[in-house]
Amino acid sequence: MKVMYPGTFDPITVGHLDVITRAAGCFDEVIVAIMKNPKKNCTFTESERKEMIEKCIRNYPNVKVVVGEGLTVNYTKKLGCKGLLRGIRAVADYEYELAQATGNMQLDSEIETFFLVAKPEYSFLSSSIAKEVASFNGDISKFIPEEIAKSVIERLTRK
C-alpha cells in the first residue's frame, strides 16, 4: 500500500523521521508531502525543506518527498495513495487528527487514515520547539536529524 505523510516539516525533526522510518517498514511506499499552507509563516522554503528531508531519508528507497497544495485528501488521491499517515504525540494531537480524519472520510471514503503513536522520547517534540531552542543557541542534537542540524542552526542562531 502507498501512503502519504503530509505536513509542514519546518524543519523535519527526529520525531518526524522516526514516523517515516517506521512507516517505511510497514508500507510499500511512503510519500512525504510538504503541504503549502499560506496560514503558516515558515522559516525554510519548500525547496529547502524538500532537500533537508531527502538528505534524511536517502537510505529508504521506498520513501519519496514532494511538495503539494490544496486539500490534503485530494492530493493524496492525486498521488495514487490509499492512505494518509499521521503521527500522534499526545491527546491534543489525537483530538485534532481524529477531526481531520473524520472530515477526510466525508470528502473521500476511499482514503484511510493511519496513526502512528510517537515514541515517548519524541512525544513533546515539534518543529517549533526545535526552532526556539536553536534560536537561543541551544543544543538541538536530540531534536533535529544530524544530516541537517548545521543548516538549521545557521538559519536560526541569534548572533
Q: Which candidate in 36, 47, 109, 127 is catalytic? A: 127
Q: How far apart are CA 49 and CA 11, in angstroms?
A: 6
C-alpha separations of 14 from 27, 52, 63, 130 in Å:
20, 12, 16, 10
Mean pLDDT of the chain: 94
Among residues 49, 89, 123, 158, which one is catalytic? 89
The question of whether 16 is a catalytic residue gets the answer yes
- For the question of residue 86 being annotated catalytic, the response is no
Return the pLDDT at 23: 98
Task: Classify residue 84 by its DSSP letter.
Answer: E
- Catalytic annotation present for 89: yes
49 is an active site residue: no
Peptide bond preceding 11 in cis form (omega within 30 of 0): yes
In the chain, the domains with their CATH numbers are: 2-120 (3.40.50.620)
**How wide is the angle at C-alpha 120 spanned by C-alphas 134 and 136, nearest 5°?**
10
Indicate whether 27 pLDDT > 60: yes
The pTM (predicted TM-score) of the whole model is: 0.94
- Which one of the listed residues 40, 58, 142, 150 is annotated catalytic? 40
